[in-house]
Amino acid sequence: MDSERDAPHPYDPAVVEPKWQHVWEEQKTFRAVRRPGHPKMYVLDMFPYPSGAGLHVGHPEGYTATDIIARYKRMRGFDVLHPMGWDAFGLPAEQYAIKTGVHPRAITLKNIDNFRRQLKMLGFSYDWDREVDTTDAGYVKWTQWIFLQLFKRGLAFQQSDMPVNWCPQLGTVLANDEVTADGRSEVGGFPIEKLRIRQWSLRITQYADRLLEGLEGLDWPETKVKQAHWIGRSEGANVEFAVDGHAGETITVFTTRVDTLAGATYVVLAPEHALAQKICKADHVVAVKAYADIANAKSDIVRSDASREKTGVPTGSFAINPINGDKVPVFVADYVIGSYGSGAVMAVPAHDERDHAFALKYGLPIIRVVDDAKADAKVVDVEKEAFTDDGVASEAAVTRSRAPITKGMPSEQVRRVVTDWLASQPGVGGKGAGSSKITYKLRDWVFSRQRYWGEPIPIFFPVECEGDPRVPGAPFTIRYDQPIPVDESELPLVLPDLEDFKPGTDPAGPLARAADWRFFQRDGKWFARETNTMPQWAGSCWYYLRYLDPKNAVSGWTSEDYDAWMPVDLYVGGSEHAVLHLLYARFWHKVLYDLGLVKGDEPFTKLVHQGLILGTSYRYFRALEGDKRLLAGSAKVLRPTDPPSIRLAETKELVEELWAREDEIAIRDNKTFHAALGVEVMLVAEKMSKSRGNVVNPDDIVKSHGADALRLYEMFMGPLEAVKPWQTSAIEGVRRFLDRTWNVCTNVSDAAASDETRRLVHKTIEKVGEDIEHMRFNTAISAMMILVRHLGALAGGTPRESAKALALLVSPFAPHIGEELWERLGSKTLLAYEPWPEFDAALVKDDVVEIGVQVNGKARGSVQIAVDADEETAKAAALGDARVRTFTDGKTIKKVIYVKGRILNLIVG
RNA sequence: GCCGAAGUGGCGGAACGGUAGACGCAGCGGAUUCAAAAUCCGCCGUACGAAAGUACGUGAGGGUUCGAGUCCCUCCUUCGGUACCA
């Protein structure tokens, strides 16, 4: 063996990285301690669900970003709280348990061990003493305790006959938020149907306004818009339509366009509306019933397809439009949703697209009551299409209305006038014929799951029975109408062990089978525990509070700790949680605030979503007909209804998609080819998936390139928030940077740095610091690359001071190599709390700069010039440039624009 | 349809309204080597040109400006979210 040839690489992350991880762990380097007089920083990651698959490359993206901030802020003298934990209740563990018979707890603990190992391998500076696990009894205790506070305030309540999203495959109810737009479960993608069962709900609607208003002060991205949209506040009016011939019955409709009331020519009820059957004329009952049955069988999803043709049936009854006394027909149609507003609408075909489509189909009158206020607008023919904008009251609006509307009155004003007038009218029951009303799209949060692996709901009920209800077959009745909270001293209420975790057919859930756990006797009476469990979101609603004092058995957190660390200063996680977790957590926090248990009413001051990391694969095709030859990859393919029948857009050829991996391709003449097959391929970036073979495993990358290289690469790929494709070849670049950094810092000299070197070091200090503050990690890394190139080119080694500065700068990004170099540069103490280097403002500012010279706005050269040179000097210097002169010679300079240190623009003519 | 984000070399991406393409990947050329790997140096938007250079160039079209990738208007495309919500 030739020892020189096989000489070990001087920088070996496999040695350096475990060494420092061990030191940090031994010394508890990152234990969060609050010192008086120091600023604080609470840097929070969205904690992961510990899946069996382990970390994917998306996790380290956000975690590295927060780690850079945490490490940087420590060096800046901040007390930093940077914790990690596990959101460990959830369906995957339970489903794995059902398949294998292994207890979900065992699976969960194993997965947590693997996640912890992987996170430690990446060198994140978490305070591991604060690790939390939402499934731990010491944690569940406080989740249940918060539930009891909600229950005592009337914010947790039961609904006995609630239409819920029932997923037969999962055997559970899902919240609206857990159902995808196309009517499938978010977990598993199974179809959902409507079922009416008893459910626990949380009254989040009571907080709708505050959840909306609270968004204003938050430093959050577009997520705020999404939450606002989800809450869906809309201002309008309820209007009472008396039913002709049914004394005392009124149909309440909700509208945001009460200004169009005079144009209402019919009324529509949702099929499930209570009055639909009641007011129906005898000869219409059968048809209405049949229509409602069909509509109920359709899922919300099918019903909510707006492009579907409008259908409906008449009830034969008429309602009276309060503004003019007109009798208008009442229909039942499934384009009206029972659960929004009042489940009934007034139909104004002239000014609403859905009503227009329906009116055309059933030949109902269309009456224009709003004219376009814009004089130059082309006039919309309301017989042909609806005019949906605000405008001014039309002639018909005046003549068809008893309310004091005048022609030309703006819609906004008409709404106020009509609402006031309706309120003054005697309505049914003397309450007025209408009033202003605010509705929300936000619904109460269905909070129970018919599942095993979740927090038991700490409630029990009296049981009516003869003898022992635990005896199989014994009759009993549970009085669900008399819920009793478990005494706080009895918390946590832990899950019983089960042999079989399957949901089964009993909507009470698998816990109903644990009879010894479910039923208990007190003072000779039998009681039954609630057998539903909480949804997965429960644990993540307050985990940021538990980190404050994770082992406290007496309270969930303390106000001292709250004052010390809260609110969360920076929260980083995926945008998929924009409306679910982030809305629920804000809701709980506001409840806790009202209870005086926390001080601020918003938990997360600044929020950042890291962008998705896509996998890279290369597409080509094989013809499925004829010679089955290989075809070049193309973006233009037709994907008709039938998935396998992909055709090329140009030739209409039937093809099969094939995928090459990054390591199988070669590049010639700026085109990508499959190296072995020679066929041209096209780069496609999409979500990593096993079927594409483009999944990247962090363990492999750490093995091949090191944790520091992985961290650095993920930060160098592009802006944190951007969606970015993974390219393994590009890691080589940051790995080379680390090698060079190593070489530069292990080849030092004690000679003083040159002026040029010192200037560059200080500029880099300034740039990297600013970029970290703004979370522009990619450009910070590029600045350090420039510095390393410069230092590497110096004859006689790197000045020691420059090398030390570099080690400090690189350390938040690549902490292992940072510590190692810091030690090798002669330090006896850890780098982690070393002060961030200060830059010298005088060195950062250049005396002489190169500025661009333009002639008539076009770049024609550049000149070296003192940074504060006056215009005359700059002009003279520019005219000293031969190339510039070729554009100015023989012409007069009519104007000079000079921006010091930036640009000189000569306008000639 | 509506809301949000974004369109810049072969690729990832840089650019306080001021010399577009920093930094990196890939590619090409060179040094080193017996050779290779690694490393180091150089080149690297398009067209014309031997070169100097000139023209063009940030999705399309218009506008504001001494000057526009950046600001304004219209449109196209992609991605994310969302929808009979009255």
* C1'-nearest nucleotide to the CA of A776: B14
**Does A774 score more than 60 pLDDT?**
yes
Query: What's the gap between Cα A546 and its chain centre?
Result: 22
Query: pLDDT tens for residues A148-169?
Result: 999 999 999 998 877 777 777 7
Residues 856-875 on chain A lying near strand B, CB distance under 7 A: 856-862
Supply the pLDDT for residue A150: 97
**Does A445 score more than 70 pLDDT?**
yes
Burial of A298 (0-12, 13-18, 19+ CB in 10 A): middle
DSSP strand pairing (A344-347 vs A266-269) = antiparallel
Concatenating the DSSP letter of every residue in A174-224 gives: E-GGGB-TTSBBTTTT-B-EEEEEEEEEE-GGGGHHHHHHGGGG-B--THH
A389 touches strand B (CB under 7 A): no
Q: How far is the CA of A762 from the C1' of B53 (A)?
A: 38
**Does A216 score more than 70 pLDDT?**
yes
Higher pLDDT, A506 or A540: A540
For the stretch A548-556, contacts whose Cβ atoms lie closer than 8 Å and that sit 24 or more positions apart, written own/partner, are A548/A81, A550/A83, A550/A85, A550/A129, A550/A130, A550/A131, A550/A132, A551/A138, A553/A138, A555/A142, A556/A142, A556/A145, A556/A146
Residue A4's pLDDT band (cuts 50, 70, 90): very low
Q: How far is the CA of A21 from the C1' of B41 (A)?
A: 38
Using alpha carbons, list the distances in angstroms from residue A538 to A173, A449, A521, A585, A759. 15, 11, 29, 9, 53
Residue A229's pLDDT band (cuts 50, 70, 90): very high
Supply the pLDDT for residue A306: 62
Residue A183's pLDDT band (cuts 50, 70, 90): low
Identify, with chain letter, the residue nearest to nucleotide B1 (CA–C1'): A306
Burial of A127 (0-12, 13-18, 19+ CB in 10 A): buried
Q: Which residues pair with A853 in a beta bridge?
A: A861, A904
DSSP structural state of residue A449: B
Using alpha carbons, list the distances in angstroms from residue A779 to A174, A462, A715. 43, 65, 9
Sole residue written with tokens 């030949």: A363
**Does A681 score more than 50 pLDDT?**
yes
**Does A261 score more than 70 pLDDT?**
yes
Sole residue written with tokens 């018909």: A396
C-alpha torsion A211→A217→A222→A226, nearest 10: 10
Supply the pLDDT for residue A641: 46
Supply the pLDDT for residue A231: 94
Supply the pLDDT for residue A557: 97
**Does A480 score more than 60 pLDDT?**
yes
Give the amino acid at A262.
A
Query: Model pTM?
Result: 0.92
- The mean pLDDT of A239-246, rounded to a whole number, is 92
A75-84, A366-375, A836-845: segment of lowest average pLDDT: A366-375
Supply the pLDDT for residue A210: 95
**Taken in order A159, A160, A163, A164, is the CA torsion positive or negative?**
positive
Residues 277-316 on chain A lying near strand B, CB distance under 7 A: 300, 303-306, 308, 310-311
For chain A, the structural domain boundaries read 35-143+538-609, 156-202, 234-439, 456-533, 614-686, 706-843, 847-908
Q: Which residues of A628-647 are buried (b: 16+ CB within 10 A; e: fewer)?
A: eebbbbbeeeeeeeeeeebb
**Does A280 score more than 60 pLDDT?**
yes
Query: pLDDT tens for residues A393-427?
Result: 999 999 999 999 999 999 999 999 999 999 998 87
Query: What φ, ψ does residue A45 adopt, rounded to 5°?
Result: -100, 150
Higher pLDDT, A212 or A509: A212
Q: How far is the CA of A611 from the C1' of B54 (A)?
A: 43
Supply the pLDDT for residue A269: 94
Q: How far apart are CA A480 and CA A533, in angstroms?
A: 15
Q: Considering the domain A234-439, what is its CATH architecture? A: Alpha-Beta Complex (3.90)
Q: How far apart are CA A827 and CA A30, in angstroms?
A: 19
Supply the pLDDT for residue A245: 87
**Does A644 score more than 70 pLDDT?**
no
Of all residues in chain A, the percent with pLDDT exceeding 90 is 63
Q: What is the mean pLDDT of chain A?
A: 89
A31 touches strand B (CB under 7 A): no
DSSP strand pairing (A79-81 vs A40-45) = parallel
Query: What is the CATH code for A35-143+538-609?
Result: 3.40.50.620
Strand B footprint nucleotides (protein C-beta < 7 Å): 3-5, 10-16, 18-20, 22-27, 35-36, 39-41, 53-55, 66-68, 79-86
- The mean pLDDT of A542-546, rounded to a whole number, is 98
Sole residue written with tokens 């998929």: A576
Residues 503-542 on chain A lying near strand B, CB distance under 7 A: none
Give the amino acid at A700.
D
C-alpha torsion A285→A289→A292→A293, nearest 10: -170
Class of domain A706-843: mainly alpha
Supply the pLDDT for residue A1: 32
**Would you tell me how many other CB atoms lie within 10 Å of the CB of residue A308?**
12
Tokens (6 digits) for A735: 């790995």
- HSE toward the beta carbon, residue A663, CA cutoff 13 A: 4
Class of domain A847-908: alpha beta
* C1'-nearest nucleotide to the CA of A342: B86
Q: Which residues of A140-155 are buried (b: 16+ CB within 10 A; e: fewer)?
A: bbbbbbbbbbbbeeeb
Query: pLDDT tens for residues A719-759?
Result: 999 999 999 889 999 999 999 999 999 999 998 999 999 99
ipTM: 0.96
Supply the pLDDT for residue A331: 95
Instruction: Tally the residues of chain A.
Output: 909
**Would you tell me how many other CB atoms lie within 10 Å of the CB of residue A572?**
22
Q: How far is the CA of A630 from the C1' of B5 (A)?
A: 37
A686 touches strand B (CB under 7 A): no
Q: How far is the CA of A852 from the C1' of B48 (A)?
A: 26
H helical segments located in A719-754:
728-745
Query: pLDDT tens for residues A283-293?
Result: 999 999 998 88
Residue A196's pLDDT band (cuts 50, 70, 90): confident
Q: How far apart are CA A239 and CA A154, in angstroms?
A: 30
A485 touches strand B (CB under 7 A): no
